[in-house]
A and B are shown apart, each in its own frame.
Chain A
Amino acid sequence: MAKKVALLQGNTACAFGALYAGCNFFGGYPITPSTEVAEVLSEELPKIGGKFIQMEDEIAAMASVIGASLTGQKALTATSGPGVSLKQELIGYACIAEVPCVIINVMRGGPSTGMPTGPGQSDVQQAKWGTHGDHAAIALVPASVQEIFSETVRAFNLAEKYRMPVQVLYDEIVGHMRERIEFPEPGELEVINRTEPTVSPEDYKPFDPSFGDVPPLAAFGSDYRFHVTGLNKAADGFPTTKANLVDDEQRRQIRKVDGNQPDIELNEEYLTEDAEVIIFAYGSTSRSARYAVNELRKEGIKVGLFRPITLWPFPEKRVAELAKQAKAIIVPELNLGQMILEVERVAKGTCNIVGINRVDGEPINPGQIIDQVKEVK
């Protein structure tokens, strides 16, 4: 049978991707340019017995998502940069308490209110370092309407599998444009649910490392009762200041991501094999870059595109290899130079690295990239 197809906005595809993944709770506070995610889920969630709550503010929305997840629901919130700033305290809480949840950030400019209706990519370092303290981070950066659907599903999978918050970041351009989408059939994309405890409620410890780096998570409201806190805690969930336990716990949380990077990392490469110039680009900017690659190849210029779809953890190994292969890496971003810092860190001076930056609310157009490639080659 032919697949169901539709012409959808990126934000609408995000909402349907969440539903495909089994999302049954949304708590949010409307903000441009992400509002359509909430709008669609406010119509769709009640139809499947899910819950939609418009909270009084951004941090309360994050609290509702953490609470819902702890009761065993698959919970989502959607916002933009200013909202992510307001959520940071509780994003950190979700990290340390190891609560699976998904945060959509449809990026506009900033800081503060910035330009609400303009696109931006200036929250990409915030996705890693926004909340204080050492913590692991996963952030996904889809570049098309179809990919927003599939990456939202993958965000839920990673959140559930690794018991942690996962962010999906895309900019206003991809969030609002319409493209054709083919809806995957049920079962076509993998859907992962968290591991639940098999021990008896009396023996259950919510952070028991003997079950591995991702201990099973019971649902509040079931027979399992446990303590949740933002303090460093022992296996039973109660606060501890014992040096070895605190150290073990912090390192285990980082290891969940660092130790599983091959499972989490996802990149796309386009004509990189013989490339002397590599463009490192993500989100809508990667589409301008791909256009530029096609134009430049017509002139015989050996240029290729490396497009991270998982932005955090950073694809260190592959970028280091490409830095050795290439004369130059060009990093176009709708910010004043954020991911270029990671590229530079990983390249360790092995090639020339040049940024193209734009923060005037307009996209980086292919011509800008073409000119820069010709300059460095």
Chain B
Amino acid sequence: MAQRYEIRFSGAGGQGLITAGIILAEAASINEGKHAVQSQSYGPEARGGASKSEVIISDEPIDYPKATVVDACLAMTQESADKYANGIKPGGVLLIDADFVKTVPAGEFKVVKIPIMRTAKEEVGREIVANVVALGAMIALTDVVSREAGLKAVLAKVPEAFLDLNEKAYSVGFEKVKEALDA
């Protein structure tokens, strides 16, 4: 993999995207022995409105801990797409929730559209796991950690009563992207 790979998860505060970032960083650093740094919106900007979580993954120790130009970005809402879906590397990738991001930011990157919230609600059964659907989708899209390492990190994070729900959410998200890429 590249020496330094940067991913941004963005959406509305409360959608669990900070947790998604933490799980990805755990998958990379604990399950795969890579280096990872996770940081997030903090302070007034983290309250309501758009929120973000950034993860940097590398085979080498990570010096600068903040995102520079991201390789991949997730935007769950129009506001987060407008605010955070910038600074994506040429050749990078943007995943958007197709139902909520109507105006797609322009740039030299690939855009993948999946109805993430709707998938969580209708195919998994609970909207609350939309962040795990998104995480599965981002891992499928970026291949930054293995499918197994991602799942292991998800299952290590969630309460026991919700293991099945989250495993399903992760797998559905992962498969959705595979389908979209094959289409």
With known contacts A288-B64, A291-B63, A173–B36 Cβ distance under 8 A: no
| A117-B42, A173-B39, A179-B36 as given contacts; A7 in contact with B65, CB under 8 Å | no
Instruction: Tell me how many residues of A have a C-beta within 8 Å of chain B.
Output: 25
- B37, B40, B43, B64: the one contacting A179 at CB < 8 Å is B37
Instruction: Check: A363 CB closer than 8 A to any chain B CB.
Output: yes
Contacts of A294 in B (CB 8 A): 63
Please, how many angstroms separate the alpha-carbon atoms of A365 and B37 in the complex? Answer: 16
B26-A7 in contact (CB<8A) = yes
Quote the shortest CB–CB distance from B122 to chain A (angstroms): 32
Q: Which of B25, B43, B63, B68 has the most CB of A within 10 A?
A: B63
Q: How far is the CA of A178 from the CA of B37 in the complex (A)?
A: 6
Give bound CA distance, A118 to B45, whole Å.
Answer: 11
Given A7-B26, A117-B42, A117-B43, A365-B65 contact (CB < 8 Å)? no
- If over half of B's interface residues share one DSSP class (helix, strand or loop), that class is named, otherwise mixed; here it is mixed
List, in ascending order, chain A residues with CB within 8 A of B48's CB. Answer: none
Q: Is the CB of B68 within 8 A of A7?
A: no
Q: Of A6, A118, A284, A366, which one neighbours B30 at CB under 8 angstroms?
A: A6
Number of A-B pairs, beta carbon distance below 8 Å: 65
B88 at the interface (CB under 8 A from A): no
Contacts of B40 in A (CB 8 A): 176
Question: With A5-B30, A7-B29, A117-B42 known to touch, is A178 a contact of B64 (CB < 8 Å)?
Answer: no
Mark contacts of A136-174 with chain B using CB atoms, 8 A cut-off: 1 yes-contact digit, 0 otherwise.
000000000000000000000000000000000000111
User: What chain A residues lie within 8 Å of B64 (beta carbons)?
Assistant: 287-288, 290-291, 363, 365-366
B66 A7 Cβ-Cβ under 8 A: no
A180 lies within 8 A of B30 (CB): yes
**347-377 of chain A: CB within 8 A of chain B:** 363, 365-366
B91 at the interface (CB under 8 A from A): no
Contacting pair A176 B25 (CB below 8 A) = no
28 sample A-B contacts, Cβ–Cβ < 8 Å, listed by A number? A5-B30, A7-B29, A32-B43, A116-B43, A117-B42, A117-B43, A172-B42, A173-B65, A173-B66, A176-B40, A177-B37, A177-B38, A177-B39, A178-B38, A179-B29, A179-B35, A179-B36, A179-B62, A180-B30, A287-B63, A287-B65, A290-B63, A290-B64, A363-B64, A363-B66, A365-B64, A365-B68, A366-B64
